Structure 1
Amino acid sequence: MNRDRNLFSREEMLEMNIEMLKSRGVSVDEIAKIAFRQQSKWKDNISYQECVESVEKILSLRDVFHILQLGAEIDRLTEENAFKGPIQSILATDLGMFGIDELFGIELAGLYGTIGKTNFGDIDVNKPGIVSELNEKGKGEKKACHTFLDDIVGAVAAAASTRVAQIENELEARKDPSIIEEPKLF
């Protein structure tokens, strides 16, 4: 695939996002586990496969592609001490008052509305699974920078969880015999 262009198909963006996540130590499976955990709080019959499919759907979106690629690159450049002045230290220490990383997460999760943002807030505060691991790796002896990635991964999980809920609600609504049109699942 020629990566020296600026427009990519959804399949290409999904592939590049999965590659970027893998290079930073994150798998689709780990994100899907968080989405499953998040959505299982509210519905008993959620399938794990629905969560995997939702994570992949989210990772194929253009806005998500831009957010993930930019955030991961900022983290990588921070690890290489590529920034000058106080921003290098702010990024490297994941300064709590910085907040721009959370804006990336809120924007991404917000693609799935207010509930997406609410789910992101819960994940951001409680840091389940890989989100916690990414956050802690930035504080260890051999510091990796995941200032942006932990929030982006949490936001993808939040959006995927919300997408699963929307699909489930749509399917439930379609049990009403007065609805005759075919569903268009997001």
Structure 2
Amino acid sequence: MSRRVHSSEVYQAVMNKLTERGVPLEAIADIVYEMQIPYKADLRKEACLESVLAVLEKRELQHAILVGVELDTLAEKNVLSEPLLSIVKADEGLFGCDETLALGSVFGYGSIALTTFGYLDKQKIGIIKSLDNQSGGEHCHTFLDDIVCAIAAAAAGRLAHRIRDEDEEDDSMGAY
């Protein structure tokens, strides 16, 4: 018999998984800050963290995190079947399933999130680089590094849209 899982349970599981895997939300917020500071000189890191927390409430992203972390963990335990185990552990460049899983969760935040995801996936800044460098040894972050890209990209996209809304609101207030 299946049970209906409450969204608060899923959210808590996501937070636990990120903590267990050594991904502080502040490190993701730092990436969001780096992506958005060129467009808003007075941007506060608190706004970036708020945006990270907001996107982590989305089920699409929560499910991607849970699935991706589970696959990384299973690879670490060598319980995936071959040849998938070797592909995941090596984080093969042509695998693509890791990016595909993560990418699906950014579409709700517009093309800015999509292009930011691509940039972060290539440049591997901040904690993304650290996670990527740990793969291949004792740890496997084949999915997690791309998921962190997705979280940061979604949060940056969300924040960019909010900044634009605030700017337009300020413009309309000055018109009176």
One fold, TM greater than 0.5? yes
Superposition pairs for residues 1-186 of structure 1, below 5 Å? 5-9=3-7, 11-139=8-136, 142-175=137-170, 176-177=172-173
Deviation at 1:12, TM superposition (A): 3.8
Deviations 1:12-31 (A, max 9, x none): 43322111001111111111
Structure 1: 5+ residue runs without aligned partners? 180-186
Deviation at 1:137, TM superposition (A): 0.3
Alpha-carbon distance change, 111 to 129 in structure 1, aligned in 2, over 3 angstroms: same
Give the TM-score normalised by structure 1. 0.87
What percent of counterpart residues are identical? 35
> Greater helix percent: which structure?
2
Deviation at 1:125, TM superposition (A): 0.6
The one-letter amino acid paired with 2:155 is A
The one-letter amino acid paired with 2:125 is P
Q: What RMSD over aligned residues (CA atoms) do the two structures have, in Å?
A: 1.8
- Secondary structure at the aligned position of 1:174 is classed as helix
Alpha-carbon distance change, 29 to 128 in structure 1, aligned in 2, over 3 angstroms: same
Give the TM-score normalised by structure 2. 0.92
Assess if the C-alpha contact under 8 Å between 1:13 and 1:59 holds in 2. no
